[in-house]
Structure 1
């Protein structure tokens, strides 16, 4: 058996080495997405071109780490960094990279483009200049453990504000927005849905209730499923995957009504892509019916994934009716009605400065924040966390943050010191 496995490994390695074409991708997507799309694309590519292709996935961490990786490497090599595709991580990073001139346009075939709506729930689904396209759709909400909440005698959460309940102290987990794109998006959604001041107060209390701040957005979901915490902000497909494993009698997920958004998870070709023709075919495959069915269908279904159920929402509206009764997705995002207008341009502009601000007040001094909140709960005091920086000031800083590192470092140090002073009172 060992010889057989070794021989198979050598054979597969030989196929990879001798492949006629190549595609290099950087992505925060988990292994299941990478493998399923790789296998399906290799088959599609051979049928379309008569050639073989190998996919090289560069793993540098979450979306924010990828953004730093792309910028750093382009600063050293302005014409190209040897990477063809950036895939995953919402929409805001792509708006930034477009503004910085680090993407190159891709003109999709009319067959594909004609099936893509321009917007979804008020949010752009693709760039009018062809710089990026929504490859899947994600929503943001709250995952919770019904058994733990019952033990704590706390009602199942329906809104973001429900996560500030003092009874949930040490029973919440937040992912780090500085490392996770979906975590950053959830913070931005709360700030825009409630307004800057109330949103800041809610975010402060959610972080204060958190047992820990996790590096990635998947860890809190696992903790909820294991019963280590009661609830956590979550991207929908992470929650659905756990619910499918553990059952709806144990776990639940809710979109806060009129307080959240549906957002495209994007794909783009980087400037100077070394394998541009292959990258174009890959993007068209991802956005085709063949590629989009991989999101919706369960593993083993005809036209679906082979080993991993991906449980994500498609960007093609007609597939929801076409695959009715076959897909495990019970939500049609094109019928989703947002309760507020999400400003993606604002979110894009302030992504870096906002992450620094959240890190300085909620993550670096997390122990101090928790101790302050715990004392207030014990004393029965009502606390309102006021933002130390106005939204207008954040937007002014945003335009200089990425280029003026001296200013950024100075402000971050100032904010951390202020946070420790506030929470020590």
Structure 2
């Protein structure tokens, strides 16, 4: 009996030592604009490396902005992870983000980060036209390679893109056209394009699946998202860059102002800027360019130096986001 009691005491003591070794490293809630597969792998890796427990909610960029705005008096999340920086810029000037300059931001070129530390770029991706080869053959059209091609009558009801109110992708398209053409000419173009658009989706990636399944003929979306769908089996997809020029996103990470777990948030941002963290995406079938100068981008990525990109002004796009979206909404009514 005495031996049994001593044995139980020894077991209890061992369990106590184990539990003490499992020091609580904190918890963190993250709003995510990445694909779910990318986000899950990244968060699992972060948890394993740091011991910080993370819960996340995946939304489109406009939805994340709306959520942070609604919760600003009692934020539930501390980090915004992924999605075009245009929306981060708007959030910055609304006072919704907290400045934080990570020591790892030294690995990120200045063109990919906010000079005051309110957001830092983790990837880059360009806007493209994404067509269904079989549909083009059926209707006798060449592969579209210009913005003007999408105004042809044969495209009526066969163009798909997202709604810029919810989608960071769609707002990048809108800001690209305004910067490329000028505001008046761009909205004249968008009004004509509206006649050919079948639907405006909530998410910027959904149009790619619609084209891949032959439901629509062409989508306007990020090239890396279309490449992901092609690799997943939608082999009729054809990706082209408009010859007039195209814009691009800087996918960003930022700290949410007055979030509940700011120390854990700093750790997450530090981690997200590392070479190892940024390279997780290509192992989950995501093909953005990476911003860390030591990281190796996917071989399939669309390099900005190899395509016709405009001198896209991300800060201007963010500052004018509300105005341009309001005008777009009035146009499509």
Shorter-chain TM band: 0.7 to 0.9
Correspondence list, 1:112-127, <5 A: 112-119=104-111, 125-127=112-114
The match for 2:37 among 32, 46, 60 is 32
What is the match of residue 253 of structure 1? 239
Report the counterpart of residue 6 of structure 2 in structure 1. none
What is the aligned partner in structure 1 of residue 57 from structure 2?
58
Taking the TM superposition and a 5 Å limit, the aligned residue runs for 1:2-401 are 20-45=25-50, 52-59=51-58, 61-74=59-72, 77=73, 80-109=74-103, 112-119=104-111, 125-246=112-233, 248=235, 250-296=236-282, 298=283, 308-320=284-296, 327-333=298-304, 335-336=305-306, 338=308, 340-362=310-332, 364=333
- Retained in 2: the 8 A contact 1:160–1:256? yes
Equivalent position SS for 2:164: coil
Q: Distance in 2 between matches of 1:336 and 1:58?
A: 35
CA distance in 2, matches of 1:98, 1:268: 10
CA distance in 2, matches of 1:35, 1:341: 33
Q: What is the CA-CA distance between 1:42 and the residue it aligns to? A: 1.4
Runs (5+) with no aligned partner, structure 2 = 1-22
Can you list the C-alpha shifts for 1:15-61, whole angstroms capped at 9, x where unaligned? xxx9642111112333112201111111221xxxxxx22111135x4
2: CA distance between counterparts of 1:360 and 1:72?
24
Q: Is the 8 A contact 1:257 1:339 kept in 2?
A: no
Displacement after TM superposition at 1:339 (Å): 5.1
Q: What per-residue deviation string (whole Å, max 9, x for no partner) do you get for residues 149-173 of structure 1?
A: 0111111011222111111111111
Tell me the distance in 1 between the aligned counterparts of 2:244 and 2:254: 30
Higher relative contact order (CA 8 A, sep 6+): 2
Structure 1 residue 233, shift from structure 2 partner: 0.1
* SS at structure 2 position matched to 1:319: coil
Deviation per CA, 1:358-392, whole angstroms, max 9, x where unpaired? Answer: 12222x3xxxxxxxxxxxxxxxxxxxxxxxxxxxx
1:174–1:207 CA contact under 8 A, matched in 2: no
Measured at CA, do residues 145 and 130 of structure 1 come closer, stay the same or move farther in structure 2, by a change above 3 Å? same
Give 4+ residue runs of structure 1 displaced > 4 Å after superposition: 336-339
**Does the Cα contact within 8 Å between 2:212 and 2:234 map onto a contact in 1?**
no
Give the aligned CA root-mean-square deviation in angstroms. 2.1
- Count of residue correspondences: 311
TM-score (norm 1): 0.69
Which runs of 5 or more structure 1 residues have no equivalent in the other structure?
Answer: 1-17, 46-51, 120-124, 299-307, 365-425
Q: Structure 1: how far apart are the matches of 2:271 and 2:145?
A: 37
Q: Select between 18-27 and 262-271 the one with higher mean Cα deviation.
A: 18-27
2:221 partner SS: strand
CA distance in 1, matches of 2:116, 2:245: 30
Distance 1:339 1:264, change over 3 A: closer
Deviations 1:245-266 (A, max 9, x none): 2365x21112223521232111
Query: 1:187-242: per-residue Cα shift (whole Å, max 9, x none)?
Result: 11112112223222221222210122222222211110001111010112210111
2-structure distance, mates of 1:233, 1:153: 20
Structure 2 length-normalised TM: 0.87
